[in-house]
Each structure stands twice: as C-alpha cells, then as structure tokens.
Amino acid sequence: MIEEDLDIALEKRLEESQPKYTDREWLNIFPEFKEMIPDKIKELAIERDIVVKEANRKISLIEKHGQTSLGRWFYGEWVRTNEVETVKRLTLEIKRFEWLKYLAGTKEKSKFEEKVLLAREYPILDLVLKHVILKKHGKDWFGLCPFRKEKTPSFSVITKDNFFYCFGCQESGSGIDFIMKIEELSFRRAVERIAIG
Ligand SMILES: [Zn+2]
C-alpha cells in the first residue's frame, strides 16, 4: 500500500473509531499512527499559514480597491466568514494531533490528563467573560481583542465549538489556549487554573 493510501486509511479509522474509543485506547490499538503525528502537525500548520496569508491578501485588496464602504464591508465579511471556518477546522485538528502526541509519550492515564479533559469541556465563554466584554450577535459573541489595541471588535467566541478566534491578530484556540495567552501561563498551569475555577 502506498503511503498516501495508508494515510487515508488511518484517518478513516480515526474517524470511525472516535465515538467508540478514547484517544489513549485508540493510540494503543493503532500504534503505527504515533510515527506519523509530528509530520501531520507540520503539514496542518503549513496549510493553516497559507489560508491565513491568502485571507489577509484578499482583505488588503478589498481595502485598497473596494469602491464603496458597503462593498468593502461585504467582501471583507465574506472572506472572514470563510476564513474562520477553515482556520477553526485546521486549528482543532492541530490541537487534536498535539494531544495525541502528548498521550503517545505518556504511559498511563494521569490525574493531569483527567484535568485536561475537564478543562477542555469547560465553557470558554465563562473564561473569556472574566477578561473581555462581549456582545452576542446571532449564535456567537464578539468584543474588542484583549491581545492588542483596537477600535472595532475582531475577537469572537464560538460557543458551539468552545473556540475563540480573532480576525485581527489571528489568535485562536480553546479555553486553555485563551488562558495561556491572556494570563501568560504554561499549558500545565492554565489547565490547573481552569480546574480550580
Ligand atoms: Zn486579536
């Protein structure tokens, strides 16, 4: 079997196995996957970089050549909406592989691992609201980016996916990522912080 086929077959098994096995069980069942994790993470990060650069290029073109402010707003929104979906998907995939990589390097389930699982489930909106004033638009929440100065809100929280994304600085991720960034904590400390509440 060529490598690409193996790749597809493993991804398919990953998908199929998700509801039935925990990540740790899954790694034990398909140990051949461990070897592929680092390359997979690199691949996804490159893909995400391209998407972000391309979106920024489009947005600056719109800013430069858009005839009316309504036109600029409309096309800008269109690019951003598409971009956020792709960046979100890629970021979540990267996080998942990073987690699998972490699990592959540890022998058995630890107390810390349990805390990570809980911290991941913790509603991100509650975490963000401690630091940022947000307003609800449709299903999602928006506010001024807490990571840099700005006048129009670029920062959004997508509660359905427990995910944040900033159109301005491209920061994105889970509640753990948000706490790491805003409180300048390591991954371990951010997880502990969320666990304490
Ligand atoms: Zn930002």
179 Cα–ligand 1 center, Å? 14
Model confidence pTM above 0.75: no
Domain that holds residue 148: 118-197
| Same domain assignment for residues 102 and 124 | no
Confidence of residue 17 (pLDDT cuts 50, 70, 90): low
| Same domain assignment for residues 7 and 104 | yes
| Same domain assignment for residues 41 and 128 | no
Q: Is 103 helix (H, G, I), strand (E, B) or coil?
A: helix
150 Cα–ligand 1 center, Å? 8
| Same domain assignment for residues 94 and 160 | no
37 Cα–ligand 1 center, Å? 29
**How far is the C-alpha of 123 from the C-alpha of 117, rounded, in Å?**
12
172 Cα–ligand 1 center, Å? 9
132 Cα–ligand 1 center, Å? 12
Q: Is 49 helix (H, G, I), strand (E, B) or coil?
A: helix
Alpha-carbon distances, residue 194 vs 117, 158, 171 (angstroms): 11, 19, 19
- Output the pLDDT for position 20: 63
Domain boundary among 109, 130, 165: 109
What confidence tens digit (pLDDT) does each residue in 98-145 have? 888 888 887 777 788 888 888 988 999 999 999 999 999 888 899 999
Q: Report the number of distinct structural domains present in the chain.
A: 2
| Same domain assignment for residues 17 and 55 | yes
**How far is the C-alpha of 80 from the C-alpha of 62, rounded, in Å?**
12
Give the residue from 179, 165, 181 showing the smallest Cα distance to 85: 165
**How far is the C-alpha of 187 from the C-alpha of 189, rounded, in Å?**
6
153 Cα–ligand 1 center, Å? 9
| Same domain assignment for residues 11 and 104 | yes
Domain boundary among 75, 109, 143: 109
Domain boundary among 59, 90, 109: 109
Q: Return the ∠ at Cα 38 (arms to 43 and 26), rounded to 5°.
A: 110
